[in-house]
Structure 1
Amino acid sequence: MTSKTIGAKSPAKQQEESAPTGRTRQRRPQEVRERVITAALHAFATVGFEGASTRSIAADAQVSHSLLIYHFQTKDDLWKAVVVNLAERFAISRVDEVVASGGASARDRLKRAIRKIVTMSAQYPELHRLMTIEAHQPSKRLTWMCENLIGEQFEFMRDLISEAQREGAVRRADPERLRFSIIGMAAVPFSVSAEYQYLTKRNPFSKIEIEQTIDLINALIFVD
């Protein structure tokens, strides 16, 4: 992965430039990072890594370019921070709701996992958009994601599906293909929300649509 340092100013200068016009209040570092990560996620999910500009991201985040560089020295660093932030949100959901579920059956744990994947996809539709851009061809960024983040989630879902199949709860099909099918059904209505709403006249982000998406996946994956 190529990485070119953009150049940086002193921390004192960063704080000076980060203050809004006409105000003396300085933004806290965590606030700056969150604003930049949010803006960067939108950029990377919309125009991809190559099309995204750190200057436009800084403008969208309402921080100075030099302050963005102080927190993320390269665009590669910023991209990784965005992906890690998303992965941590999904991992927290998985651990809290699925893994730490005691003696629950694989069927019940998989149903909870599906619900979380759908609700998180609705909350962060940019994730699937970003993944679609990155995953359509080999790249160092894709390799990094698979080795550091996606691989563990992929194995977790595959093994959980296999366990549920052994219980007789899930249709007999390749667990890896089923994992991709679940991700696609869970994410596509939200990642192509404009098309979905235009054709169906329904808002995919509405509570009833989210529940119906979950119900559809369950009906196709599980054995009655």
Structure 2
Amino acid sequence: MREKIVSAAAQEFATVGFDAASVLRIATAAGVHHPHIYYYFRSKEELWREASTRAFAPIFDRVAVEGPKLAFLGPIEACEHAIRTFTRFSAENPLAALIVTRETLNPGSRLDWLTEHLLTPLHQIMVPLLEHGMAVGVIRPIPIPHFMQSMVGAVVSFFSSGPALRPLYGIDPLSPESIERHVDFMASLLIEGIRARPA
């Protein structure tokens, strides 16, 4: 029952945001009685935190398994691996980006919590790879905040733009073929954009 509640809550918070989210709608979507929500969660905000954590869980699971492998790769190869991992995660878990987007529209304590507990740990994987690459000369000097936000925006916006991309180009961004094409394109575009060129 708890799993059903958290899954329904993630969908609700991603769709309408925290303030407009209805605990009654969450209960109905989960197929449980309204009071059961408060048996498992003391407040709507506690439920939001659990739903947000669950939305990001797949990428932290991947990091736990694949993160140690990055130490055996060069900076360019490690960055490419991280970009591919993030792109696939974004395609498979669109609610994570939507939850963050909802909170950036109305910044406050919840965005602070997301930043501290979910976003910063993810950025702290990529940033040292970029810094190391610049230090050893294989990555050209780049403004890291600009790179990170450009990567996130380019990855996430493609997968969230299905209603526009279908009539414009006749493609489904969440089809397996489109996902893999975007994974390859993002890796190629971003890596070639940061790779140091011989003088």
Pairwise CA distance, 1:142: 0.5
State the structure with more CA Rg: 1
Check if 1:48 corresponds to 2:31.
no
- The letter for the 1-side match of 2:107 is P
Check if 1:206 corresponds to 2:149.
no
Moved more, 57-66 or 86-95: 86-95
Question: Structure 2 stretches of 5 or more lacking a match?
Answer: none
Match of 1:131 in 2: 100
TM-score (norm 2): 0.88
| Residues 36-63 of structure 1 deviation map (CA, whole Å, 9 limit, x = unaligned) | 1111111111110011100100100111
Pairwise CA distance, 1:216: 2.0
Summarize the alignment of residues 1-224 of structure 1 with structure 2, pairs less than 5 Å apart.
32-223=1-192
- Identity value in percent: 27
Pairwise CA distance, 1:196: 2.3
| Residues 107-157 of structure 1 deviation map (CA, whole Å, 9 limit, x = unaligned) | 222212111111111111111111111113421100111122211212222
TM-score (norm 1): 0.79
Pairwise CA distance, 1:168: 4.4
| Contact 1:118-1:186 within 8 A present in 2 as well | yes
Pairwise CA distance, 1:171: 4.7
Q: Which has the higher helix share?
A: 2
Match of 1:8 in 2: none
Matched residues in 2 for 1:165 and 1:211: separation?
Answer: 28
Higher RCO by CA contacts (8 Å cutoff, separation 6 or greater): 2
| Contact 2:80-2:191 within 8 A present in 1 as well | no
Question: Structure 1 stretches of 5 or more lacking a match?
Answer: 1-31
**How well do the aligned residues superpose, as a CA RMSD in angstroms?**
1.8
Aligned residues: 193
| Residues 69-94 of structure 1 deviation map (CA, whole Å, 9 limit, x = unaligned) | 11112100100001111233211112
